Structure 1
Amino acid sequence: MNIGIPLEIKTGETRVSCTPAGVRHLVAGGHRVVVQSGAGASSGFSDDKYRRAGAMVTGSADKAWRCDLVVKVKEPLEEEYRHFRKGLVLFTYLHLAGNPGLASKLLETEVTAIAYETVEENGRLPLLSPMSEIAGKMSVLMGAYFQSSRFGGGGKLLGGVPGVLPASVVVLGGGSAGMHAAKVAAGLGASVTLLELGQERMRMLESSLPAQVRTLYSTAQHVEEQLATADLVIGAVLVPGAAAPKLVTRPMLRHMKKGAVLVDIAIDQGGCFESSRPTTHEDPVFVEEGVLHYCVTNMPAAYPETSTEALTGVSLPYVRRMADLGLESAMVMMPGLVGGLNTWQGRLTNRAVAESLSLPFEENPFA
């Protein structure tokens, strides 16, 4: 199979979808890999490393996109829609619930689109998990940074000092991102409250997180009460494939401390704060109702070496299986791919995405 790895063009995106080691693995299986020049540069992988791994390196985005299977990191931007065609298999993070324009174009051009974030194995989201972990850890670092009065934050050091109370950190959602955010915040010495709906999940979190992390059943009232004293709020809510629920409304902001910081990890899925809007690494924050919002849509791109290695490690088995067997046989051999299929032959095959976009849903042909 011909596999294309294009250069990511999203603002601030520094990751690449496959390392040279991953390319070597694909080439060893008899596949042709076309890498666009410069695709791996920001992750520390030169064109020469890809050549030595057996890839064909090209300066043309068209050649990378002309392959049977295109493997990316982030969702295609409008200027990449011209590459869409019937028969193309696209494997990447899509987040279609927050991007109706992209969903419409994929359906119109009959692209077979498989979303990393909805691939599911035994109740887990294996291709989302490592990026969630990175974003969760990073969310606290960014929140602490923008708490500085230099940026308009409240000026409260997360861990405090002897004789001064630590900052209050509220984490909404106890999945992978929320758990790692809570762990890092506690490690810095903050007082942490994690709100979660699942009772079994809360029991697991209680047993695995540091003692200064308290869990609380997530209700609108509990969220509002915690926001009133919070210095940093991490939005880490996930409903696979669907738009994120708006847990923090604009009226709630008005009762928060001025200079508090919100970090919305769920912004790819529309955000879990009503006041959220996408930002970039170049211009990451804005202020609403006196509260700083950090809503960068590709947070892990700040750490491309770690992120690229982690993403390749989990995505490569799926890429290799699709290349070896073809899409339909790969779906049988790796059932998790079935949940990843979002569009196929002009049909929307993920129910959560269809409901979020109010579009017709058709049963997954491989389910």
Structure 2
Amino acid sequence: MRVGTVKEVKNHEYRVGLTPESVRELVTHGHEVWVEAGAGDGIGASDAAYAAAGAVLKPLAADIFGSCEMVVKVKEPQAAERAMLREGQVLYTYLHLAPDPEQTRDLVKSGVTAIAYETVTGPGGQLPLLKPMSQVAGRMSIQAGATALEKAHGGRGVLLGGVPGVLPGRVLVIGGGVVGFNAAQMAVGLGADVTILDRDPEVLERLGTHFESRAKTRFSNRANIEQMIAEAELVIGAVLIPGAAAPKLVTRDMLALMKPGAVLVDVAIDQGGCFETSHATTHADPTYIVDGIVHYCVANMPGAVARTSTYALNNVTLPHALRIADLGWKGALAANPHLAAGLNVSGGKVTYEAVALELGYDYVPVAEVVGN
């Protein structure tokens, strides 16, 4: 199979779909790999490194989209990229379709087979291709929140760890999954006063066992959210419903309960955000203020630490990329139900139920598409 990767064009996105090491693995399996010149610059991977790994360097993204049977990316294709997609081609990347009707429409129209990293499953319902970026985003959320809390950035002027004689900042983490756990870990490490909310008793028990007295846990309901955001200097939104739009757990009315200059960091923004007042921002202009509350809603947070993120991502995406290239997409999906869960769009049909329900498409089960 001819596999390609392109230079990401989303604002301040420096990650790349394939590292030179991943290219070498694909070439070793007998596949041809095309790489857009400069695609690895953001992670310090030169064109020479790709060439040494066996890649064919191409000057334009159009060369990749026009000739490769599978395109491996990181972020969802932007409008100009979607215009180059074609029927029968495999697109393997993050998609986050539920809050993005325009992208979904274009993918359906193109006839492409789109496999989304974020809905590929693992044993026990895990999301292994989302996990490393959730780990990065969770840890970065505290860094970003701490910076936004600085007075010069519009924040309350609070140091999360405090100093002797001055209380530490209060951090509320809504959601105790991978993002929430990693956010709490970083906040605890800084010496902040940390509370984690979740609805799953097993998750709360696991968090309580891990953090002991270093972080508090509470059941997530409206009353507890209202009470805790009134006390917090920093609130991390870390709620995920796989493939679906995030629930709006903090309403605009609730902002009036918060301290002026407090900060909301919405890590769920890729799925539409879990705060009612959230809208996606970029690394170039990461924050805005609503009713005195600073909002940080960067939709590609891990792109800021591109080298760490790219290598962590390739560790989990490459095995499936090899299966798709070796067996063809239908063979790979038929052989692996976890990978099959990643199929969101194929041949003009929406094959992920949550996306179909959210955006009003007819849902076509993966088995029907693979069996054709």
Instruction: Calculate the TM-score normalised by the size of structure 2.
Output: 0.97
Contact 1:121-1:335 within 8 A present in 2 as well:
no
**Residues 29-72 of structure 1: CA distance to partner in whole angstroms, max 9, x if unpaired?**
10000000111001110000000000001111111112000000
Q: How far off is 1:210 after superposition?
A: 5.2
**Aligned-pair identity (%):** 50
What is the 5 A alignment of 1:141-220? 141-209=143-211, 211-220=213-222
Do the aligned residues in 2 keep the contact of 1:186 with 1:210 (CA within 8 Å)?
Answer: no
Aligned to 2:80: 79
Q: 2:53 is matched with which residue?
A: 53
Show the counterpart of 1:304.
306
3-state SS, counterpart of residue 196 of structure 2: strand
Provide the C-alpha distance between the structure 1 equivalents of 2:184 and 2:358, rounded to a whole number of angstroms. Answer: 29
| 1:168-215, Cα deviation, whole Å (9 max, x unpaired) | 100010110010000100110001110001111111111123522111
For structure 2, list consecutive stretches of 5 or more residues without a partner in the other structure. Answer: none
Superimposed CA distance per residue, residues 242-262 of structure 1 (whole angstroms, 9 cap, x where no aligned partner): 000000000001111000000
Are residue 136 (structure 1) and residue 138 (structure 2) matched? yes
Which residue of the partner structure matches residue 331 of structure 1? 333
SS of the residue corresponding to residue 264 of structure 2 reads: strand
The match for 1:94 is: 95
Equivalent residues of 1:232, 1:261 under 8 A apart: yes
**After alignment, is 225-234 or 357-366 more displaced?**
357-366
**SS of residue matched to 2:341:** helix
Q: Could you say which residue in structure 2 is the equivalent of 1:289?
A: 291
Question: Which secondary structure state, in structure 1, belongs to the residue aligned with residue 172 of structure 2?
Answer: strand
The equivalent residue for 2:18 is 18
1:287 and 1:358 map into 2 onto residues whose CA distance is: 33
Query: Using the alignment, how far apart are the partners of 2:77 and 2:245 within structure 1?
Result: 19
CA distance in 2, matches of 1:44, 1:319: 22
Q: Are 1:69 and 2:81 an aligned pair? A: no
Structure-1 separation of matches of 2:245 and 2:144: 24
Check 1:306–1:210 CA distance in 2 against 1; reply closer, same or farther (3 A cut).
farther
Q: Is the 8 Å Cα contact of residues 12 and 282 (structure 1) preserved in structure 2? A: yes
| Distance (Å, rounded) in 2 between the aligned partners of 1:361 and 1:324 | 28
* Contact 1:170–1:194, Cα closer than 8 Å, also in 2: yes
Residue identity matched to 2:338:
G
Which of 128-137 and 73-82 deviates more? Answer: 73-82
Find the residue that maps to 1:228 and give its secondary structure. helix
Cα distance in 1 between the residues matched to 2:132 and 2:212: 21
Question: In structure 1, what is the equivalent of residue 29 of structure 2?
Answer: 29
Letter in 2 for 1:222: N
* Equivalence map 1:186-265=2 (5 Å): 186-209=188-211, 211-265=213-267
Equivalent pair of 1:183/1:210 in contact (CA under 8 Å): no
- Look up the SS of the partner of 2:247 in the other structure: coil
Structure 2 residue identity aligned to 1:20: P
Runs of 4+ residues deviating >3 angstroms: none
- In structure 1, distance between residues paired with 2:138 and 2:58: 35
Give the residue type in structure 1 aligned to 2:135: E
CA deviations 1:57-109 (Å, max 9, x no partner) are 11111111120000000001111122111101100000001110010111112
- In the alignment, the residues of structure 1 paired with residue 56 and residue 162 of structure 2 have an alpha-carbon distance, to the nearest angstrom, of 53
- Cα RMSD of the aligned pairs, angstroms, is 1.0
Tell me which amino acid in the other structure corresponds to 2:106: K
Q: Distance in 2 between matches of 1:45 and 1:209?
A: 38
Partners of 1:318 and 1:362 in 2: CA distance: 22
Shift of 1:281: 0.3
Task: For 1:158 and 1:358, locate their aligned partners in 2 and report how far apart those are by CA, in whole Å.
Answer: 43
**Between Structure 1 and Structure 2, how many residues are aligned?**
367
Residues in 2 aligned to 1:332 and 1:215: alpha-carbon distance in whole angstroms: 41
